[in-house]
Structure 1
Amino acid sequence: MIPRTLHVIWVGDESKRPDNCIATWRRHNPDWELRVWGNEELGSYGWVNAEHMRAMAGRELNGVADLMRWEILYNEGGFVVDADSICRRPLEPWLFEGEAMACWENELKRPGLIAAGYVASKPQNPFFGQMILDLQKTPRVDDRMAWQSVGPLFLTECHRTHRYTGLTIWPSHFFIPRHFSGLTYDGGGLVFADQEWGSTLGKYDHLHEKKIA
């Protein structure tokens, strides 16, 4: 069973942590535990891929968060959401009835690519354990963009390579109704969150100051 725990990761300059965004998850989901993982946890948790995290810290902090994400999912279970996401409505129990879930990044702009920003799992899921081992065996992860080496593309390739059938993949509009390319969902389906694309669009310097309705 997927624990009702929301995990948010923020490493780097804590003065710019988007607490305004994080608070929306607590407000809409008061029955969920919310855990924020930061610099202290990065330095003390005992990560399997700590060396990769140190290397990636010199390139992209969002890549460090991705590396942490997979180990949090394996060790703790729950639902890891991006720090630059804004919850718009309470999460429904049926989203988490399986052993793991994620969503597509965008079916039109990036067909077949699984987003890394909204992933949930039961603890000790062998698939995420295998992802951690695959990374451990990889000589370097900071030699290319983080979305390729440790993020969405890595998740998608692992899903295909290991033929993992326990992952429920929801439509992108559930959590990413607006793609960074500008393509925006305008249908009548459920929208649980908005994605601000803080790293991709360079919003993190000011996102924590944004007024959120």
Structure 2
Amino acid sequence: MIPRCIHIIWVGDESKRPDNCIATWRQLNPDWQVRVWGNEELASYGWVNAPHMRAMAQRELNGVADLMRWEILYNEGGFVVDADSVCKRPLEPWLFEGEAFACWENELVRPGLIAAGYVASVPENPFFGQMILDLQNTPRVDERMAWQSVGPLFLTECHRVYQYGGLSLWPSHFFIPRHFTGVEYQGGGPVFAGQEWGSTLNNYDELYKRKVA
């Protein structure tokens, strides 16, 4: 079973951590543990890819979060969600019946790209273990944009290369109903979260002060 734990990663300036967004996950999922990973955990956890994290920290903090994400999923299991996500309705048990899931970023404007912001897994999943090893064996990950080298594109490429059949892929509208390009889901299906695109739209300076629920 996928552990009933929601993991949220925030590294960098903790005064701008979007606690308003994080609170929505706690409020709507009171039976779940919500665990926030921050600068202290980054410094002390004993990450396999700590050298990559230090290098990526000089370029993109969201890339550090992606590197942490894969190791959290492997070591702890549970559901890792982006810090700039807003929970819209309680999570349903049927979402977590498999061994792992993610969702598409957007089927219309980014077809085939798996989002890295909403990924769940059982602990010690060999697929995520292999991703960690692949990163460990990569000389550098900070020569490209983080979404390419350690985030969504990396996840998508690993899924294709290893033909991992245990990853359920939910529609983008479950967790990303509005893409940063403005494309928005208009259907009547379930929407469990919304994405504020903090890194992409560079809005973290004001997101933590915004009313989100």
What TM-score range do you get, normalising by the shorter chain? over 0.9
Q: Does 1:115 align with 2:130?
A: no
SS at match of 2:102: strand
Quote the offset at 1:212 in angstroms.
1.9
CA deviation profile, 1:79-132 (whole Å, cap 9, x unmatched)? 000000000000000001000000000000000000000000000000000000
CA–CA distance in structure 2, aligned partners of residues 39 and 29 of structure 1: 25
Aligned equivalent of 1:62: 62
Q: Does 1:47 align with 2:34?
A: no
* Runs of 4+ in structure 1 over 2 Å off: none
The aligned amino acid for 2:139 is P
Aligned equivalent of 2:129: 129
Aligned equivalent of 1:208: 208
SS at match of 1:209: coil
Q: How does 1:115-194 map to 2 (within 5 A)?
A: 115-194=115-194
Aligned equivalent of 1:8: 8
Aligned equivalent of 1:82: 82
CA deviation profile, 1:122-168 (whole Å, cap 9, x unmatched)? 00000000000000000000001000000000000000001100000
Aligned equivalent of 2:27: 27
Say what the alpha-carbon RMSD is for the aligned residues.
0.3
CA–CA distance in structure 1, aligned partners of residues 178 and 17 of structure 2: 22
CA–CA distance in structure 1, aligned partners of residues 135 and 55 of structure 2: 13
SS at match of 2:86: strand
CA deviation profile, 1:18-48 (whole Å, cap 9, x unmatched)? 0000000000000000000000000000000
Q: Which ranges of structure 1 fall in alignment gaps of 5 or more residues?
A: none
Task: Tell me the number of residue pairs that the alignment of Structure 1 and Structure 2 aligns.
Answer: 213
CA–CA distance in structure 2, aligned partners of residues 44 and 162 of structure 1: 31
CA–CA distance in structure 1, aligned partners of residues 112 and 29 of structure 2: 30
Aligned equivalent of 1:92: 92
CA–CA distance in structure 2, aligned partners of residues 151 and 136 of structure 1: 15
SS at match of 1:180: coil
CA–CA distance in structure 2, aligned partners of residues 10 and 196 of structure 1: 15
The aligned amino acid for 2:103 is C
**Percent identity over paired residues:** 83
Quote the offset at 1:59 in angstroms.
0.1
The aligned amino acid for 1:21 is C
